[in-house]
Amino acid sequence: MRTLKLTLAYDGTRFVGWQRQAEGRSVQGELEAVLARFAGDPVTVHGAGRTDAGVHAYGQVASARVDVTHDTATLTRALNAQLPEDLRVISVEDAPPDFHARFSARAKTYLYQIRNAPIASPFERHWVWHVPEPLGLDAMHAAAALLVGTHDFAAFRSVGSEVSGTVRTIFTSAWRDASGLLTYEVSGDGFLRHMVRAIVGTLVEIGRGWRPADIPALLEGGTRAEAGATAPPQGLILARVDYD
């Protein structure tokens, strides 16, 4: 048996998300089905992040224990030959036996894209959140910077999600503007369910002038009802997962 580390990219538009479900295409399910053909037995694949339906990835990482002898370059080619076109294996590496895509991760980086213009191209519709009215970027920059550090992010957690704790450390939280394509970059040691989308929704409400820059209050005992709406999934991309 060997442990594989697989780096993946996918267009999440037609997936029900990362996690295998009773109905619908999942990234995990597609990958497990193809790996099982090589192994001759069922294979369980673990992902670094459980992306939701419509969410994309440039640098998702998965791990799997398999009994195959193919070299990593051959495995990469063979997997891509059988996977659907909206899911690609960027690389396959041999990893230590105790490597786990989720539990071994030290940081994850997400991007969120907003087309801030009166009209959005139809070719962007699966990759951006279209916000047509002008946004106050200075206020959004300042509010985003307040998220850096170790805080309790309970106000940005989906209601009903079960986690042992809500304290996370954010290393990077910043916006950049490229001719009306706003990209929010956030990296941290872990994220709660829908946390990035809740943060983006809150920052956009600040940029719209719908709410004050109340980030400190939300981080000091705020509730989910007091934060902004959850941004739509299609603008979110899992960009990178870092390991020791």
User: How far apart are the C-alpha atoms of 231 and 226, rounded to whole Å?
Assistant: 15
Maximum pairwise Cα distance, the chain = 58
Q: Which residues are catalytic?
A: 52
User: How far apart are the C-alpha atoms of 46 and 38, rounded to whole Å?
Assistant: 17
User: How far apart are the C-alpha atoms of 16 and 41, rounded to whole Å?
Assistant: 24
Rounded to the nearest angstrom, the gap between the alpha carbon of residue 229 and the centroid of all alpha carbons in its chain is: 18
User: How far apart are the C-alpha atoms of 168 and 177, rounded to whole Å?
Assistant: 26
Bridge partners of residue 188, in order along the sequence: 108, 170
**Residues ≥6 apart with Cβ < 8 Å to 212:** 206
Q: Residue 104 is encoded by which pair of tokens?
A: 């071994």
Q: Is the dihedral of CA 205, 237, 86, 121 positive or negative?
A: positive
**Residues ≥6 apart with Cβ < 8 Å to 64:** 3, 4, 6, 31, 32, 35, 43, 44, 45, 46
CA gyration radius for the chain?
19
